[in-house]
Amino acid sequence: MKLRDFVRGFAQGFPIGLGYLSVSFGFGILAVRAGLSPAEASLISLTNLTSAGQAAGIDVIASHGSLLEMALVQLTINIRYALMALSLSQKLDDSFTLPHRLLAAYGITDEIFGVCISRKEKLRPFFMYGITCIATSGWVLGTFLGAAAGELLPPSISSALGIVLYGMFIAIIVPPARKSGSVFFVVMAAALLSCVCKYLFPQISSGFAVILCALTASVLGALLFPRDDEAEQTEEETA
């Protein structure tokens, strides 16, 4: 049963691993440009497994930010994983003891969450281990290859390849922004605030700029576009 669950998770996570392999290549290049070695970049990917958090963390490292700044940046960007974990906790099999929960929590990413939450049956530990294993392998291997290539390629080429990670972020936010005016507003507000911080307040470090822009844009979105829970519930019941 355990081996079958692991193989099933490994198979379902294989496309995620391939995607991570290509995307993390860009992170590896960014890490080398910030002064890290391929081994250090790979260790970051192995212990974090968060694309946006790692990209922001590299900016904090490059700007010689403080540990407090790094902690606040990671909390702001990665708080969504705690919400994903709470959602997945409702789908766990009885075999998920506390040690299994702690181990499985390491592998909760946006893509893994999407695969797991869409399953009709209960989640078992070794299924999540399988999907996490292949996804993490792709992420770390891509980081190492990107970092190694960043040390060998000319600066012009490595700079061009470094935008791969940011291209993924754009691909994530564009579809929901096209469908929802509130999401579009929050995205544009965050982008505008980021430009303001960069050009009008250059003394603000990149890490704190991320925190200020994210929180301010989120608050504006919540105030201007409040959710009508009763209306949403009525639409769900009607559907």
Give per-residue pLDDT as tens, 180-218.
Answer: 888 899 889 988 998 998 888 887 876 678 778 888 988
**Do 154 and 185 belong together in one domain?**
no
The predicted structure's pLDDT at residue 22: 84
Tell which residue, 14, 4, 6, has the closest CA to residue 126. Answer: 6
The predicted structure's pLDDT at residue 235: 47
Low-confidence residues in the chain, pLDDT < 70: 156-166, 168-169, 172, 206-207, 228-239
Number of domains in the chain: 2
**Do 101 and 141 belong together in one domain?**
yes
Report the distance separating Cα 75 and Cα 81, nearest Å: 10
**Do 112 and 68 belong together in one domain?**
yes
The predicted structure's pLDDT at residue 103: 92
Q: Which domain holds residue 195?
A: 180-225
Furthest-apart CA pair in the chain: how many Å?
59
The answer as to whether 174 is a domain residue is: no
The answer as to whether 83 is a domain residue is: yes
The predicted structure's pLDDT at residue 7: 93
The answer as to whether 238 is a domain residue is: no
Encoded tokens for 67: 């540990």
Report the distance separating Cα 207 and Cα 12, nearest Å: 35
The answer as to whether 170 is a domain residue is: no
Say what the pTM is.
0.74
The answer as to whether 231 is a domain residue is: no
Tell which residue, 103, 3, 107, has the closest CA to residue 50. Answer: 107
Terminal CA-to-CA distance of the chain, rounded, Å?
37
The predicted structure's pLDDT at residue 111: 87
Residues near 153 by beta carbon (within 8 Å), at least 6 away in sequence: 161
